[in-house]
Structure 1
Amino acid sequence: MAYRYWCGECGFRTAWLGESEGERQQVEHYRRKHPGIPPGGHVEVDRKDPGGGLGCLQLVVVAVVLLALAASCRR
């Protein structure tokens, strides 16, 4: 999963990062731009698996190969 942290005081947001890196960048932003204010805002979560986009395509390819094998075994 990827996380994007938004500042509660201004329009700042981090890039899509791992949880600990995003939190670190948000804390650093507050330290530099909003001293004395505890970090706030909200966190956006991207639940998509970045490497899992070909699952359906793989299923279709396996089905086609199985159909081709079944057709070639038929007399």
Structure 2
Amino acid sequence: MTHRYWCDECGFRTPRLGAADAERRLLEHYAAHHPDIAPGGHVETGRSIGGCVCLGLTVLLLLLTAVAAAYRH
């Protein structure tokens, strides 16, 4: 699962990373850009889409192969 943390002060957002790495980047951002403000914001979670895209393409290729084989005979 990926996490993206958003800064409430300026709209900064981390890249999609593991939870610990994304949180660390947000804390580094607050220390550098908002040193007098307690870190805040919200987190966006999601799954990596790489596996879903690959699966979808595989299914599509199998369907196209089946259709091509059906019309060939």
Please confirm whether the aligned pair reaches a TM-score higher than 0.5, indicating the same fold.
Answer: yes
Segments of 4+ moved more than 6 angstroms: 60-65
Tell me: CA distance 1:27–1:54, structure 2 relative to 1, closer, same or farther (3 Å).
same
* Comparing 49-58 and 20-29, the one that deviates more: 49-58
Other-structure match for 2:32: 32
Measure the CA separation in 2 of the matches of 1:12 and 1:45: 16
Q: Which has the larger radius of gyration?
A: 1
SS class of match (2:25): helix
Runs of 5+ consecutive residues of structure 2 not aligned to the other structure:
none
Q: How far did residue 47 of structure 1 move?
A: 2.4
TM-score by length of 1: 0.66
Instruction: Write the letter of the residue equivalent to 1:13.
Output: R
Runs of 5+ consecutive residues of structure 1 not aligned to the other structure:
69-75
Measure the CA separation in 1 of the matches of 2:20 and 2:52: 23
TM-score by length of 2: 0.67
Tell me: CA distance 1:34–1:56, structure 2 relative to 1, closer, same or farther (3 Å).
closer
Task: Please provide the CA RMSD for this pair.
Answer: 2.5
The structure carrying a bigger helix percent of its residues is: 2
Instruction: Write the letter of the residue equivalent to 2:40.
Output: G
Instruction: Write the letter of the residue equivalent to 2:9.
Output: E
